[in-house]
Structure 1
Amino acid sequence: MTDTAATANDAQRARLASYVSDLGVVRGRVVLSSGKESDYYVDMRRVTLHREAGPLLGHVLLDLLEEQGLGPDEVDAVGGLTLGADPVATAILHAAASRGQGIDAFVVRKEAKAHGMQRRIEGPNISGRRVVVVEDTSTTGGSVLTAVKAVEEAGAEIVGVVVVLDRATGAREVVEAAGYRYFEALGLTDVGLA
Structure 2
Amino acid sequence: MDFEKRRAELIALIRKLSYREGDFTLASGQKSSFYIDLKATTLHPLGAKLIGELAVELLKREGTVIDAVGGLTLGADPLATAISLGAFDRGISWPALIVRKEPKGHGTSRFVEGMENVGAGAHVLVLEDVTTTGGSAVKAAERLREAGLLATTALTVVDREQGGAKALLESGVKLLRLATIAEIRTA
Q: 2:53 aligns with which of 41, 48, 59?
A: 59
CA distance in 2: counterparts of 1:41 and 1:175, whole angstroms: 21
Superposed CA offset, 1:96-121 (max 9, x none): 11111111100000011111221111
Q: 1:86 aligns with which of 65, 74, 77?
A: 77
Residues 47-126 of structure 1 aligned to structure 2 (within 5 Å): 47-70=41-64, 74-125=65-116, 126=118
Residue pair 2:152, 2:172 contacting (<8 A) in 1 also: no
- In the other structure, the counterpart of 2:183 is 190
SS, match of residue 108 in structure 2: coil
Residues 118-137 of structure 1 aligned to structure 2 (within 5 Å): 118-125=109-116, 126=118, 127-137=120-130
CA distance in 1: counterparts of 2:138 and 2:180, whole angstroms: 20
How far is 1:137 from its partner? 0.2
> In structure 1, what residue type is equivalent to 2:29?
G
SS, match of residue 60 in structure 2: helix
SS, match of residue 52 in structure 1: helix
Q: Which runs of 4+ in 1 moved over 2 A?
A: 124-127
CA distance in 1: counterparts of 2:152 and 2:93, whole angstroms: 16
TM-score (norm 2): 0.95
- Structure 1 gap ranges (5+): none
CA distance in 1: counterparts of 2:83 and 2:152, whole angstroms: 15
> In structure 1, what residue type is equivalent to 2:5?
A
> In structure 2, what residue type is equivalent to 1:106?
L
Query: Larger deviation: 134-143 or 177-186?
Result: 177-186
TM-score (norm 1): 0.91
Q: How many residues align?
A: 185
CA distance in 1: counterparts of 2:34 and 2:155, whole angstroms: 22
- Structure 2 gap ranges (5+): none
Residue pair 2:121, 2:149 contacting (<8 A) in 1 also: yes
Superposed CA offset, 1:114-163 (max 9, x none): 11221111113442211110100011011110101000001111231110
Q: Percent identity?
A: 37
Superposed CA offset, 1:54-91 (max 9, x none): 11111111111111102xxx211000000000001110
Please give the root-mean-square deviation of Cα atoms over the aligned residues, in Å.
Answer: 1.3
- In the other structure, the counterpart of 1:172 is 165
Residue pair 2:24, 2:35 contacting (<8 A) in 1 also: yes
CA distance in 1: counterparts of 2:143 and 2:112, whole angstroms: 8
